[in-house]
Amino acid sequence: MESAIRSNVELKATLRAYLELAKLRIVLLLLFTTLTAMVIASGGIPPVAVLLPTLLGGALAAAGSSTINQYLDRDMDAKMARTARRPIPSGRISPLHALAVGVTHLAASVVILAVFVNGLAALLAFAGGVYYVVVYTMLLKRNTSLNIVIGGGAGAIPVLVGWAAVTGGLTLDAWLLFAIVFYWTPPHSWALALLVNADYARAGVPMMPVARGEDATRRQILVYSLLLLVVSLLPVLTKTLGALYLIGAVLLGVGLVWHAVLLLRDSSKAMARQVYKYSTFYLALLFMVMMFDVLL
DSSP string, 3-45: HHHHHHHHHHHHHHHHHHHHTHHHHHHHHHHHHHHHHHHHTSP
Percent of the chain whose pLDDT exceeds 70: 97
How many whole angstroms separate alpha carbon 67 and alpha carbon 201? 23
Contact predicate 200/73, CB 8 Å: no
Q: Is the pLDDT of residue 164 over 70?
A: yes
**CATH number of the 171-296 domain:** 1.20.120
Contacts of residue 104, defined as CB under 8 A and 6 or more positions apart, other chains included, come to: 64
Percent of the chain whose pLDDT exceeds 90: 83
pLDDT at site 82: 87
Q: Which residues of 64-99 are buried (b: 16+ CB within 10 A; e: fewer)?
A: bbbbbbbbbbbebbeebeebeebbbbeebbeeebbb
**CATH number of the 13-170 domain:** 1.10.357.140
Q: Where does the pLDDT of residue 244 fall: very low under 50, low under 70, confident under 90, or very high at 90 and above? A: very high
In this predicted model, what pLDDT tens digit does every residue of 271-296 receive, in sequence order? 999 999 999 999 999 999 999 999 99
Q: Which residues of 257-287 are buried (b: 16+ CB within 10 A; e: fewer)?
A: bebbeebeeeeeeebbebbbebbbebbeebb
Give ranges for CATH 1.20.120 in the chain: 171-296
Query: For the chain, what is the radius of gyration of the CA atoms?
Result: 20
Contact predicate 167/121, CB 8 Å: no
Q: Where does the pLDDT of residue 71 fall: very low under 50, low under 70, confident under 90, or very high at 90 and above? A: very high
Q: How many CB atoms lie within 10 A of CB 241?
A: 24
How many whole angstroms separate alpha carbon 275 and alpha carbon 256? 8
pTM for this model (two decimals): 0.94
Q: Is the pLDDT of residue 137 over 80?
A: yes
How far, CA to CA in Å, does 207 sit from each of 73, 162, 211, 220? 15, 30, 6, 12
How many whole angstroms separate alpha carbon 237 and alpha carbon 176? 11
pLDDT at site 8: 67
pLDDT at site 150: 86
Give ranges for CATH 1.10.357.140 in the chain: 13-170
pLDDT at site 220: 96
How many whole angstroms separate alpha carbon 261 and alpha carbon 278? 13
The lowest-confidence range among 7-21, 29-43, 68-82, 198-212 is 7-21
How many whole angstroms separate alpha carbon 137 and alpha carbon 140? 6
Backbone angles phi, psi at 205, to 5 degrees: -95, 125
How many whole angstroms separate alpha carbon 30 and alpha carbon 34? 6
How far is C-alpha 154 from the chain's CA centre? 8
Sign of CA dihedral 133, 138, 142, 145: negative
